Structure 1
Amino acid sequence: MMKKVMPLLFTFILLFSTFISGTVSIYAAESGLNTGDANDVEMLQQPLDDIDPLIENAISEQVMPGAVVLIVRDEQIVKHEAYGYAARYTDNNFTEMENPVEMQEDTIFDMASISKLFTAVAVMTLWDEGMFDLDDPVALYIPEFASNGKEDVTIKQLLTHTSGFRASTTVPVHEIEGDREDRLDFVLNETLEVPPGTRYLYSDVDFITLGVLIERLSGQRQDEYVAANITEPLQMNDTMYSPEASLKERIAATEYQSNVNRGLVWGSVHDEKAWALDGVAGHAGVFSSAEDLAVFGQMMLNEGSYQDEQILSEEAIELITTNWNGAFPGQDQGLGWELNQNWYMDDLAEQNTIGHTGYTGTSIVVSPNNKSITILLTNRVHPTRNTVSTNPTRRMVSEKTASAIDAWSAESMMSLVDRLVDREEITDVSAARSLNNHLTAIDHFESRSNSSKVIKHLEGFSPLIEFYYDNNSLSENAYETLLSDTEYLMGKWQ
């Protein structure tokens, strides 16, 4: 009897496995982002693995209670990991929950200022429809905006944070009496800090105003417009404003806000201004998961299209990714999207690398040159915003992503050397030439799979890096990056 049962059992397992794998492949085909092996997209696995202990260490030091990391290259998810807790504390004294909620790969996060990217894309879908020109005065479409000397502020200046508005409003929005419309009227009547176009000032007011522009031009509230024109076409089902109460257990908790008597903010927007605007605003309010955000990033990499859905024209993408802030060095800014920001993009930072961060502890880095998307989502304001900066963790995740790409081969390391020259982190032309000559020799032996020769030349490469660093030809970052990537490449061949 047992001999007959075993084949039947085997057949059942085989059929069940086929069904499961078929279900997974169908889902992957719909999402377009398949889970793949790092080697298949010419990335080293070791730097990606090294992210894990670094995140876990940050959690142990209470930088954040939890995190999700997602890394994509060539539309392949090469890393997707959850760490720590989505909800852990009941108050700002770090009182532990009786049943803390573990972080999951599909946990939904309050995106905070990453919401500005959805606003910018929504604005540019309206530009694609010919609804306005970027240099049009905002007051042409929102007449009351012209008050207090703002008649010359342009739509482009709002998108590039050069309008002249201060970072926030003169009076907290939640202290303004009335409903959402009353509070938006207050924002539209704000005064400028400096004349338009004279300084870069990162401002929530810019994007609250852009949210109003979307509503005036489209006739829809911003959340409805974003859903109809971005998230629904892209099947971003975990992306929304004002999540339903039923989703609470899937959402990462944020801050315990005793100052506004909200208690533990969990499932509603953290930002007080967006909260006062019914959770729907141009500067904050979007909730999303790592994989949904990766789809959004992939649409940008694909020059506005994804899975046969054209969200933006190629012309709109070109405008979004152009640096309009050449007059303000270090503040490279496209339309909504930031450009070339080393402080969180690290070695992924290039002139065409786009991204943004969010106050709640979120960040996205989209690198066209590497065809990569690097996402770090944390709930670092849980249970209080008075924690240490998340920026070192953001940089670390970007750094390890870059290492996984750059340390793949001697040839990719030559590209790294060239980028370091462009960033003036290798200041001696002869040093760059010498480093690349040595890497050319290693590349020769790699092409012949001669591991002993590759290892021998890599062993000689590290002293060369040391020599040029001692002679002030390399920045400290270039020195550390080259040494680290040499070690990673050595590990590949050992």
Structure 2
Amino acid sequence: MTYPQTKAALQRLLTDHVVPGVSYAFIDHDDIETGEMGQAAVVPRSEPLRAGMVFDVASLTKVVGTLTVVLQLLAQGRLQLTDRLSDWLPEWQDQRVTVRHLLTHTSGIVGYIPNRNQLGAADLTAGLLQLHVGPNFNQKMVYADVNYIFLGWIVEKILGEPIQVAAQKRVLTPLGMTHSTFTPSNPLACVPTELTADRGLVRGVVHDPKGYVLQRRCGSAGLFSTAGDLATFCHAYLNPEQVASVLPPDWVHQLTTDWTPTGTAGRSLGWALAGTQWPQPHRIIWHSGFTGTYLVLDPQQQQAMVFLSNRIHPDAPNEVYLDQRNAVIGTYLAEK
């Protein structure tokens, strides 16, 4: 398990200055290989990327934390895919939106919150609950953080504790993800993200603006993790029977299914779908994060890849990265 072509593609990301540094892991059945290359920081001074450094994984929070807790509650019968958002959050007025819509990003929730990033938690919460359903409802997959913020609030209603607290107790700790946290204690062990005008160099604190405001009540972003810990998570995902109390096998095995209402929008519960249907179905699941992170899992082949970078360091959004990201994933899938 060496993946020379994929590693060469990772190295090109550094050579071409697409990202400062990369931490990665390859999972092949029970074998796990991790590594790192490049820089943790380029401002205010150059700093090499060290083994085991912690990354702000951004939207990987959705699938590692929030989705996993939701799957547990579905398996326990404490939550149903058909439950309406308004059943759990009465402040939400549109009774059409269900848990399934939130999980598959087919809720169609849209709207504008003036000065959103300057609001306090209470005002941002109120603003999110005053958004509305647009014309894409139930028909089109439109990725939106609000879906997983609302799911986090539903979890809080059921369990009586914020989603990030629940995820730590129910996912990170029992899986042995000892370097993963929502509250890093040592910023210097974390890879910095953006150098911003208002917050300075963001390091050891969540980059996502909504996550920064909502803190423990944010189910869409906020997790910090390492390639090693995420490899542990992926290995567990490929073998849910070994950790059935954390990852309900019946639900995990169905995650290569298109769960959108039309069955054609290319989204599972939480995860994006890719793969082929011919000559036989072979689907993989994957998810990315704004800071320059992604997970790719192939349950059929018992293989996975973890990719962590600081693509918004020192500046966001670095859209050049997006095409390169997809090219690296393509190289990995072809090589494995």
User: What is the TM-score normalised by the length of structure 2?
Assistant: 0.91
Would the aligned equivalents of 2:52 and 2:228 in 1 still touch at CA under 8 Å?
yes
Identity among equivalent positions (%) equals 27
1:157 aligns with 2:101: yes
Q: Which amino acid aligns with 2:19?
A: M
Q: Which residue of 1 aligns with 2:113?
A: 170
Separation in 2, partners of 1:222, 1:169? 24
Following TM superposition, by how much is the alpha carbon of 1:397 offset from its aligned partner in structure 2, in angstroms? 3.7
Identify if the C-alpha distance between structure 1 residues 134 and 388 changes in structure 2 by more than 3 Å, giving closer, same or farther.
closer
Q: Which residue of 1 aligns with 2:229?
A: 292
Q: Which residue of 2 aligns with 1:94?
A: none
Q: Which residue of 1 aligns with 2:5?
A: 50
Separation in 1, partners of 2:85, 2:118? 26
Identify if the C-alpha distance between structure 1 residues 159 and 124 changes in structure 2 by more than 3 Å, giving closer, same or farther.
same
Task: Give deviations 1:56-95, integer Å, cap 9, x for gaps.
Answer: 3322322111111211101201x422111112213xxxxx
Q: Which amino acid aligns with 1:87?
A: A
Separation in 1, partners of 2:232, 2:200? 33
Paired residues, number: 331
1:253 aligns with 2:192: yes
Identify if the C-alpha distance between structure 1 residues 128 and 371 changes in structure 2 by more than 3 Å, giving closer, same or farther.
same
SS at match of 1:243: coil
Separation in 1, partners of 2:183, 2:275? 30
SS at match of 1:311: coil
Q: Alignment partner for residue 219 of structure 1, among 148, 160, 180?
A: 160
Would the aligned equivalents of 2:138 and 2:262 in 1 still touch at CA under 8 Å?
no
| Gapped regions of structure 1 (runs ≥ 5) | 1-37, 39-44, 91-96, 343-349, 406-494
Separation in 1, partners of 2:234, 2:83? 28
Following TM superposition, by how much is the alpha carbon of 1:296 offset from its aligned partner in structure 2, in angstroms? 1.3
Q: Which amino acid aligns with 2:271?
A: W
Separation in 1, partners of 2:325, 2:34? 15
Q: Which residue of 2 aligns with 1:263?
A: 200
Superposition CA RMSD, Å: 2.2
Q: Alignment partner for residue 134 of structure 1, among 65, 81, 106?
A: 81
**Equivalent runs, 1:70-149 vs 2, <5 Å:** 70-77=25-32, 79-90=33-44, 97=45, 100-117=46-63, 118-145=65-92, 147=93
Separation in 1, partners of 2:157, 2:216? 18
Would the aligned equivalents of 2:165 and 2:216 in 1 still touch at CA under 8 Å?
no
Separation in 2, partners of 1:181, 1:59? 41
Identify if the C-alpha distance between structure 1 residues 386 and 185 changes in structure 2 by more than 3 Å, giving closer, same or farther.
closer
Would the aligned equivalents of 2:292 and 2:308 in 1 still touch at CA under 8 Å?
yes
1:333 aligns with 2:267: yes
| Gapped regions of structure 2 (runs ≥ 5) | none
Identify if the C-alpha distance between structure 1 residues 205 and 221 changes in structure 2 by more than 3 Å, giving closer, same or farther.
same
Identify if the C-alpha distance between structure 1 residues 254 and 341 changes in structure 2 by more than 3 Å, giving closer, same or farther.
farther
Separation in 2, partners of 1:51, 1:110? 23
Would the aligned equivalents of 2:192 and 2:201 in 1 still touch at CA under 8 Å?
yes
Would the aligned equivalents of 2:179 and 2:226 in 1 still touch at CA under 8 Å?
yes
SS at match of 2:286: strand
Separation in 1, partners of 2:326, 2:139? 30
Q: Which amino acid aligns with 2:131?
A: E
Following TM superposition, by how much is the alpha carbon of 1:396 offset from its aligned partner in structure 2, in angstroms? 4.1
Separation in 1, partners of 2:275, 2:215? 32
Task: Give deviations 1:88-132, integer Å, cap 9, x for gaps.
Answer: 213xxxxxx1xx321123121111111110211111111122112
User: What is the TM-score normalised by the length of structure 1?
Assistant: 0.63
1:357 aligns with 2:288: yes
Structure in which a larger fraction of residues adopt strand: 2
Task: Give deviations 1:361-395, integer Å, cap 9, x for gaps.
Answer: 10100001221011111100000114243234433
Following TM superposition, by how much is the alpha carbon of 1:282 offset from its aligned partner in structure 2, in angstroms? 1.2
Separation in 2, partners of 1:321, 1:169? 33
1:324 aligns with 2:279: no
Identify if the C-alpha distance between structure 1 residues 290 and 186 changes in structure 2 by more than 3 Å, giving closer, same or farther.
same
Identify if the C-alpha distance between structure 1 residues 267 and 280 changes in structure 2 by more than 3 Å, giving closer, same or farther.
farther
Identify if the C-alpha distance between structure 1 residues 86 and 241 changes in structure 2 by more than 3 Å, giving closer, same or farther.
same
Separation in 2, partners of 1:227, 1:293? 14
Q: Which has the higher contact order (CA 8 A, sep 6+)?
A: 2
